[in-house]
Chains A and B, each alone.
Chain A
């Protein structure tokens, strides 16, 4: 049985995505990839802020009024979010999405403190009641969203589906968050480029990965620059201001959802990010605001 690699590019979760997998023929590959893509779209639909019928929209619409019953999957995602809140010392807060209303990255404008203050009052995960199979957001205007690890969760589910379908070589790539099913066909690891945070077409390092996951958080996805200072979409939930210590943090972990959470928390922790990465025990590649690289347990080629 001789296998080949098949590629399936698609768009989802506001990103360019791709599934690469090895299969004996195109029909088998297509069937496997379509099942995985369907799962990604299911998660996107279920947890999208923008669809009125999604569970997240229903929870947000009931803020300050009603409790909403949740299914098992949503409850587990909420439990995970709670764990991340505590592990990050309160920096990873899924109620911080409301700050979007003050930061519009299409216009290069820093919001005034008076605009941020009322929004910061709505950022309060510890006040959210999420016991007994349901969730209640106590104040009108509060919102939750799973943007902090939703894409990575989808990558893990798609990857697990493919692994159970027998795929032993390939990966799922959702906008740079990747879950691997196995190395290339000849056994060599995949060589994955880490994007240069200041050059959209540039690569700052190539990392060898063959299993587990690679997730990256960076200050270049949504941002604007004023007077040489970068304002990015990763916002500190206590000050409402963007973090600025790191340009990007990439983490290798057994699960994409773990790698994505750790890389986002490292960005949020700013100068304490490096000791957080060390405490996580995971391999990482990080670039700070001066362009200096830090890495641990990573094999591959890096520029300097």
Chain B
């Protein structure tokens, strides 16, 4: 366990053990004080492609956390997304776009029970749009070691979605998913903490995008993720580096890598700045087809369509299933006012390009996508 140069642990342990035997020198194990908070946040999202504006979203939300009795807490959030704009019907064809305008309302609530060495959280989520309703339930638990340096996490969740697209391509379709999670968080040094999380999701039902032409996906999808995170406190600056790597793979044969990093630097006077960078790369789904169209019929028909290739065969012209790389760069500025209030502003820029795919060629023929995100948030604690 320790290197041979380290002195024996027996003296340390025996001195501490002897001191702990003295009467009344420690307080009895107590719950840490639980604080409540209420947060308001607003997101303004806009993307564009090939010089044309595409989707615009305005999204206010509120979150509340409150301790209840001495061993419980309850959390809830409410969000309203107002989304409008042009979404391509195939590849990046904005001229053939369907203009859409939708309002999505979502809410979730979770109740947590605290035990001496762990927690148990039950949660429920509900969201509704014109054409899509989603309901989910989850159960998550954590168990910590005696010295609190290791925490194991387990989770189980399920969802049922109902899809009723406004264009009636299908009527009353459903999608169900079941997910499991297992993870471990470990305190490594007084300045370092690491986490490994594995998840697996099995989904059955309707996965097509009903607003895209020739979008015919398998009726099941299995997804796996491995997430590795590491937070490190830098003594020299008082800042913290937060790094993460996620590996994703699914039954569409999409494999994706995500590398994200942010650096929290407190500046004094309650200010901090957090620059962030995120690198993303994914392979294409096996049934994705490039913007190369049928020789006879032309776009949007996939190659082979005119010669009678099965109309039920799997295909999708959805850019999100193509091979590409993406980069996000952002900056968040936070100001803590007194002990109770926190305000922050965050600006991010995102770009997605086929040619930026790492290790292999990305899907050709798609114009880069640019997005910008602007967020502002306010939190009050009590």
Contacts and interface: CB of A to CB of B under 8 A. Distances in A.
Chains A and B touch (C-beta atoms under 8 A apart):
yes
Interface string A245-289: 000000001110110011000000000000100111110000000
B22 A153 contact: yes
Contacts of B33: 168
A257 B18 CA distance: 10
A164 B28 contact: yes
Contacts of A87: 11, 14-15, 18
Nearest to B8: A279
B24 interface: yes
A169 B12 CA distance: 28
Interface in A156-173: 156-157, 160-161, 163-164, 168
B19 A279 contact: no
B18 A83 contact: yes
Interface string A163-189: 110001000000000000000011000
B14 A163 contact: no
A169 to B, nearest CB: 10
Contacts of A84: 18
A185 B22 CA distance: 30
A112 interface: no
A279 B11 contact: yes
Interface residues of A, number: 36
Interface residues of B, number: 26
Given A163-B30, A185-B339, A186-B339, A255 B11 contact: no
B51 interface: no
B7 A258 contact: no
Contacts of B25: 153, 156-157, 160, 255, 257
A284 B254 CA distance: 54
B38 to A, nearest CB: 16
A63 B26 CA distance: 33
Contact of B15 (A76, A160, A261): A261
Nearest to A297: B190
A160 B26 contact: yes
A278 B7 contact: yes
A160 B18 contact: no
Interface in B15-36: 15-16, 18-28, 30, 33
A14 interface: no
A303 interface: no
A87 B16 CA distance: 11
A261 B190 CA distance: 24
B165 to A, nearest CB: 50
B95 interface: no
A279 B16 CA distance: 12
Contacts of A258: 15-16, 19
B105 to A, nearest CB: 34
A171 to B, nearest CB: 14
Contacts of B3: none
Contacts of A157: 24-25
A77 interface: yes
A80 B21 contact: yes
A76 B25 CA distance: 12
A299 interface: yes
B9 interface: yes
A73 interface: yes
Contacts of A160: 24-27
A76 B8 contact: no
Nearest to A281: B12
A255 B23 contact: no
A168 B28 CA distance: 14
B7 A275 contact: yes
Contacts of A80: 18-19, 21-22
B312 interface: no
B147 interface: no
Nearest to A77: B22
Given A77-B22, A278-B7, A164 B12 contact: no
Nearest to A277: B7
A76 B11 contact: no
Contacts of B7: 275, 278-279, 281
A83 to B, nearest CB: 4
A262 B14 CA distance: 12
A112 B328 CA distance: 79
B146 interface: no
A161 B28 CA distance: 10
Contact of A163 (B12, B23, B27): B27
Contacts of A72: 23
Given A262-B15, A279-B12, A280-B15, A76 B339 contact: no
A35 interface: no
Given A2-B339, A299-B235, A83 B14 contact: yes
Nearest to A282: B12
Interface centre among A72, A156, A281, A297 (most CB of B within 10 A): A281
Contacts of B20: 255
A282 B7 CA distance: 12
Contacts of A253: 16, 19
B86 to A, nearest CB: 48
A79 interface: yes
A97 B339 CA distance: 50
Given A1-B382, A279-B12, 16 more contacts: A2-B339, A2-B340, A76-B23, A83-B14, A83-B15, A87-B14, A160-B27, A164-B27, A185-B339, A253-B19, A257-B19, A257-B22, A258-B16, A261-B15, A280-B15, A281-B12
16 contacts: A1-B382, A2-B339, A79-B21, A87-B11, A87-B14, A156-B22, A163-B27, A168-B33, A253-B16, A255-B25, A257-B19, A258-B19, A280-B15, A281-B9, A281-B12, A297-B190
